[in-house]
């Protein structure tokens, strides 16, 4: 295997662009939460609201041709990686013209043109895929990096543990981003992680790892910058353990979040809303003004509105497509 050339991230998004990503994810998720009970969105939908700073902060450090492998809670990653939200919404509705032609749905949404290798219906199922993309980048000497997003529940899978080993041994340009939202479905990390940091598992394998405040997009971005640069420069994998709780339940239409403490979600929304924290800082530092913020808000609202309208009125997939795309040739 040849070492990739050392390359810097060619495009660092502006503060306004980061804000647009944060706001788009929030608006998309809040809107899906509103639409879901109406019964037009089939299947299982897992919302990312509350955790936006992680996807936005990490993907801000990626090149358009870098790869990400996502989780069942993948909308935020897809949006942060540049997927078209109308095509995403069509996919959630299972419509023709959706990002995967209606064959993937929320849980398998993918866009290879943007390096988005897919949400994944299996906890930690996508982590080895990111290793493969990183291997591919390393062999081709392309300087690309792959990010493996995984939840706090997923890290207990063998595939995750094995992936730490293989990434370290093969010195792959991969960044593991553990999204600790406190719950594996309805089981708390105090139990299922035994109160241990996931970062310690990586450190024990010789992989540099950090625990990051996942509500702070600037902190995520800084940590991701180091990890991504390291990977891109051929120094191998790194791990970020980003802590940020979700606003909604594990899955729409299913859980009433009775497992969460009284007032927990209200408190997180009031005190740890990553978007509010972001806005407090950028307005205090005069990086964005009220008019710029309002303009982005309005434009995002319009985009999401358009996406929902398009998804609701789009035609269903042609039933003939049932049997296409199974094999390239058969």
Residues in contact with another protein by CB under 8 A are: 1-2, 67, 69, 98-104, 108, 110-113, 117-118, 120-122, 125-137, 139-140, 146, 158-159, 162-163, 165-167, 169-170, 324-330
- Minimal distance in Å, beta carbon 321 to another protein? 8
Dihedral sign, CA of 77, 79, 83, 86?
positive
User: Cα–Cα distance between 11 and 212 in angstroms, integer?
Assistant: 23
Residue environment code for 41-64, b if the CB has 16+ CB neighbours within 10 A, otherwise e: beeebbbbbbbbbbbbbbbbbbbe
- Minimal distance in Å, beta carbon 326 to another protein? 5
Q: What is the CA angle 193-77-100, rounded to 5?
A: 120
Which of helix, strand or coil describes residue 290?
Answer: helix
- Minimal distance in Å, beta carbon 26 to another protein? 26
- Minimal distance in Å, beta carbon 290 to another protein? 41
Q: Which of 322, 312, 248 is nearest to 89 (CA)?
A: 312
- Minimal distance in Å, beta carbon 41 to another protein? 18
Residue 110 or 288 having the CB closest to another protein: 110
User: Cα–Cα distance between 18 and 72 in angstroms, integer?
Assistant: 23
- Minimal distance in Å, beta carbon 307 to another protein? 18
Residue 138 or 243 having the CB closest to another protein: 138
User: Cα–Cα distance between 182 and 318 in angstroms, integer?
Assistant: 41
CB atoms within 10 A of CB 235: 14
CB atoms within 10 A of CB 122: 13
């Amino acid at each position: 295997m040849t070492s990739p050339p050392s390359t810097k991230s060619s495009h660092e998004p502006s503060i306004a662009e980061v804000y647009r990503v944060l706001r788009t994810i929030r608006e998309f998720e809040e809107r899906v939460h509103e639409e879901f009970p109406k019964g037009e969105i089939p299947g299982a939908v897992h919302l990312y609201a509350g955790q936006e700073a992680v996807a936005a902060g990490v993907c801000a450090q990626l090149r358009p041709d870098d790869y990400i492998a996502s989780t069942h809670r993948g909308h935020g990653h897809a949006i942060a990686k540049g997927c078209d939200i109308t095509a995403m919404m069509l996919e959630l509705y299972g419509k023709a013209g959706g990002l995967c032609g209606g064959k993937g749905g929320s849980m398998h949404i993918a866009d290879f043109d943007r390096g988005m290798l897919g949400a994944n219906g299996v906890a930690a199922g996508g982590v080895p895929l990111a290793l493969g993309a990183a291997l591919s980048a390393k062999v081709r000497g392309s300087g690309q990096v792959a990010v493996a997003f995984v939840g706090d529940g997923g890290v207990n899978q063998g595939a995750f543990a094995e992936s730490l080993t293989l990434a370290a041994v093969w010195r792959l340009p991969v960044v593991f981003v553990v999204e600790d939202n406190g719950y594996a479905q309805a089981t708390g990390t105090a139990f299922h992680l035994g109160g241990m940091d996931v970062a310690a598992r990586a450190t024990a394998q010789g992989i540099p790892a950090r625990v990051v405040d996942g509500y702070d997009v600037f902190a995520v971005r800084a940590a991701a910058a180091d990890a991504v640069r390291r990977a891109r420069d051929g120094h191998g994998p790194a791990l970020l353990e980003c802590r940020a709780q979700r606003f909604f339940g594990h899955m729409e239409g299913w859980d009433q979040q009775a497992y969460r403490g009284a007032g927990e979600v209200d408190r997180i929304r009031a005190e740890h809303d990553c978007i509010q924290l972001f806005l407090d800082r950028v307005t205090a530092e005069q990086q964005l003004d009220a008019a710029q913020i309002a303009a982005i808000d309005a434009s995002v609202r319009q985009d999401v509105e358009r996406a929902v309208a398009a998804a609701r009125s789009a035609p269903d997939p042609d039933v003939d497509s049932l049997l296409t795309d199974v094999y390239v040739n058969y």
